[in-house]
Amino acid sequence: MTNRTAFITGASRGIGRACALALSEAGARVALAARNTTQLEELAAEIRSKGREAFAVTVDMANAESIHEALAKTAKEFGPVAILVNNAGITKDGLALRMKKDDWDSVLATNLTGAFLASQQVLQHMMRERWGRIINISSVVGEMGNPGQANYVASKAGLIGLTKALAQEMGSRNITVNAVAPGFVETDMTQKLSQELKDNLVGHIALKRIGQPEDVAAAVCFLASEEARYITGHVLNVNGGLYM
Ligand code: NAP
């Protein structure tokens, strides 16, 4: 993927950060997108210190205008996006019966609508180039369901549907669209879970350990590679055997 431009949302920490480092290592120019500019600038500096190209760009994935501006700035700096990783995601958990509409709306806006809008925008160029990779970061709970996360689960299941629909629409243009469904990964998102819950979860994971962001990044990097050219509409589980 040398000299291709990759745009990674939620690149400031966790899984997105690991994806940016892995894609950069594989030769891509990386546009690092999130709301927190300080963390993005630090990562961009780290990548540049290794002699690779990186660009920090602020984006709020819950805001259509912000997505449009971030992708336009990236195109100006690095050329159009060839690899899009829709990774930005949030949780606002609560039982469905008591869930506030705002908590439903903001999770769907960031996790699903933002991914759709970013895909729509990058597809224009990918269609002209007859080459493109879109990788949506879903979740094991998008496949299994999870109590207390109706909004998050709906957004992650929605990403799987979006992946399959786009894969069918775009296949004839040599654009692949896939999803990665991580299981339980050690990041800020999962830090708030109690030790008891984590121990219980590990008991259900075949590989008997929690995942690391790099485990997910390796799968993303593969799907972005030339070697993955005949894979589209696929959901790649990276969950240590938590769900099969
Ligand atoms: P994380 O550590 O909480 O990081 C989330 C990232 O998303 C941050 O970079 C954050 O940056 C960004 N983000 C959040 N809201 C945003 C917005 N409105 N606009 C732009 N960027 C936004 O989470 P993570 O664990 O790495 O998760 C990454 C993805 O993997 C998510 O989609 C998550 O649902 C999925 N996932 C995670 C796990 C897990 O166990 N950790 C499992 C399955 C799936 P700013 O706050 O700076 O904007």
243 is catalytic: no
Question: What does the alpha-carbon distance between residue 220 and residue 125 come to, in Å, rounded to a whole number?
Answer: 21
The ligand 1 atom nearest the CA atom of 185: 40
Q: Which of 56, 47, 55, 104 is nearest to 78 (CA)?
A: 55
Question: Which residues, 6+ apart, have CB-to-CB distance to 129 below 8 Å?
Answer: 80, 82
| Banded pLDDT at 3 (limits 50, 70, 90) | confident
Q: Please give the full DSSP string across 135-188, using - where no structure is assigned.
A: EEE--HHHHH--TTBHHHHHHHHHHHHHHHHHHHHHGGGTEEEEEEEE-SB-SH
User: Using 50, 70 and 90 to split pLDDT, how confident is the model at 124?
Assistant: very high
- Statement: 5-185+212-238 belongs to CATH 3.40.710.10: no
Tokens standing for 201?
Answer: 């979860």
Buried b (16+ CB within 10 A) or exposed e, 168-183: eebeeeebbbbbbbbb
Q: How many Å apart are CA 25 and CA 28, to the nearest integer?
A: 7
Question: Of the residues 87, 138, 140, 152, which should be mutated to test ligand 1's pocket, given the most ligand atoms within 8 Å of the CB?
Answer: 87
Q: Which residue has the tokens 């992946």?
A: 163
- Whether residue 182 is predicted with pLDDT greater than 90 in this model: the reply is yes
Res. 102 pLDDT band, cuts 50 70 90 = very high
* For residue 160, pLDDT beyond 90: yes
Q: At residue 1, does pLDDT exceed 90?
A: no
CA-to-CA separations, 28 to 85, 114, 132, 155, 236, in angstroms, rounded: 12, 23, 13, 28, 22
- Quote the pLDDT of residue 110: 98
> Region 145-155: what's the mean pLDDT?
98
Tell me the C-alpha distance between 105 and 153, whole Å. Answer: 13
Distance 89 CA to ligand 1 centre (A): 4
- Residue 121 and residue 94 in contact, taking contact as beta carbons nearer than 8 Å: no
Q: Are 10 and 16 in contact (CB under 8 A)?
A: yes
Section 138-142 average pLDDT? 98
User: Which sign does the torsion angle of CA 204, 150, 83, 53 carry?
Assistant: negative
pLDDT at position 226 over 90: yes
Residue 49 CA to ligand 1 centre (angstroms)? 25
The whole-number average pLDDT for the span 135-156 is 98
Ligand 1 neighbours (beta carbon < 6 A): 9-10, 12-16, 34-36, 59-62, 87-90, 110, 137, 139, 182, 184-185, 187-190
Per-residue pLDDT of 26-47, as tens digits, reads 999 999 999 999 999 999 999 9
**What ranges do the domains of the chain cover?**
5-185+212-238
pTM of the model: 0.98
The catalytic position among 122, 152, 181, 182 is 152
pLDDT above 90 for 2: no
Q: Which helix (H) or strand (E) holds 189?
A: helix 188-191
Q: What does the pLDDT read at residue 193? A: 85
Rounded to 5 degrees, φ, ψ at 11 are -85, 0
